[in-house]
């Protein structure tokens, strides 16, 4: 009888423990790292490095090779993406554009052009939510809506890369996204470029990139920035002079022998 009396207490304990583990796995993190300086690569620290390894995410490439990866976040169109695409075409540089539902609806011709000119269109979620605050089913819905709309517009049938909205993520959001066939793409070079009313001129954008550049860097830029659009040609030209080669995220996945996310 005593054993039976203890049973509810044991069950409660394990339910509480399970709840605690679940809450811990969905604890929000804001992506951050020690910035690169003098060519020394950025470092995210052991905790993030361990999560990156566990969930097959990426924030930088091989730091022994002067390959770099240009990525843009496209939450909404501010009139500068066409110029960015013109520069990329002129310089013959590949890039990845992470788009939202708003962007797909408001700038379909630009998305079509991205794919037509050989760039990667990645997932930035439909509504740009904090995904640590929504359910797993809602995360899946956010991702699927972007994928379906992109395919309707461009014919692109696969979407392998995800950039978490606002840079907020958790072990749960990474696990759910991985189950849906996505690799989290973080970054190792960024600066505060998204405030459209606080642009500081093309030279500032140029300086920020050049001082943080390092082998294997994944650059995050926002296309809403006039400074970025105005500086991009000079940035690419001078980085090429420094011996850097611009590669695509697909090249990085092959180089690091990462698993094909569609096999998850």
The set of catalytic residues is 73, 222
Contact indicator for 116, 89 with CB cutoff of 8 Å: no
CA neighbor of 194 nearest in space, from 14, 63, 74, 38: 74
Query: How far, in Å, are 156, 159, 192, 208, 254 from residue 114 at the CA level?
Result: 11, 14, 24, 25, 22
Question: Which tokens sit at 211?
Answer: 């001082």
Query: How far, in Å, are 89, 148, 150, 263 from residue 155 at the CA level?
Result: 21, 10, 7, 21
- Residue 84 CA to residue 226 CA, distance in Å, equals 10
> Residue 13 burial by CB count (10 A; 0-12/13-18/19+): exposed, middle or buried?
exposed
Q: How many helices (H) and strands (E) does the chain have?
A: 10, 9
- Give the DSSP per-residue string, 247-263: E-HHHHHHHTTPPPGGG
Q: Could you tell me where the DSSP H helices lie in 26-130?
A: 46-55, 81-91, 101-106, 108-116
Q: Which residues pair with 218 in a beta bridge?
A: 69
């Amino acid at each position: 009888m005593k054993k039976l009396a203890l049973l509810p207490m044991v069950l409660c304990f394990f339910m509480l423990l399970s709840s605690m583990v679940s809450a811990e796995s969905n604890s929000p993190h804001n992506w951050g790292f020690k910035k690169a300086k003098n060519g020394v690569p950025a470092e995210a620290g052991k905790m993030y490095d361990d999560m990156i390894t566990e969930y097959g995410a990426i924030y930088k490439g091989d730091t022994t090779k002067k390959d770099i990866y240009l990525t843009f976040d496209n939450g909404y169109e501010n009139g500068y993406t066409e110029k960015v695409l013109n520069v990329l075409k002129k310089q013959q540089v590949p890039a990845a554009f992470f788009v939202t539902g708003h962007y797909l609806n408001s700038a379909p011709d630009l998305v079509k052009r991205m794919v037509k000119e050989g760039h990667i269109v990645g997932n930035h979620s439909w509504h740009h939510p904090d995904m640590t605050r929504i359910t797993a089913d809602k995360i899946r819905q956010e991702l699927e809506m972007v994928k379906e709309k992109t395919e309707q517009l461009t014919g692109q049938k696969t979407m392998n890369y995800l950039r978490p909205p606002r840079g907020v993520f958790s072990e749960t959001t990474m696990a759910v996204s991985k189950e849906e066939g996505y690799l989290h793409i973080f970054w190792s070079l960024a600066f505060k470029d998204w405030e459209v009313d606080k642009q500081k001129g093309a030279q500032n954008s140029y300086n920020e990139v050049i001082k943080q550049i390092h082998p294997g860097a994944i650059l995050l830029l926002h296309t809403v920035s006039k400074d970025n659009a105005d500086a991009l040609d000079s940035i690419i030209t001078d980085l090429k002079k420094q011996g850097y080669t611009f590669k695509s995220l697909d090249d990085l996945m092959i180089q690091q022998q990462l698993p094909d996310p569609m096999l998850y």
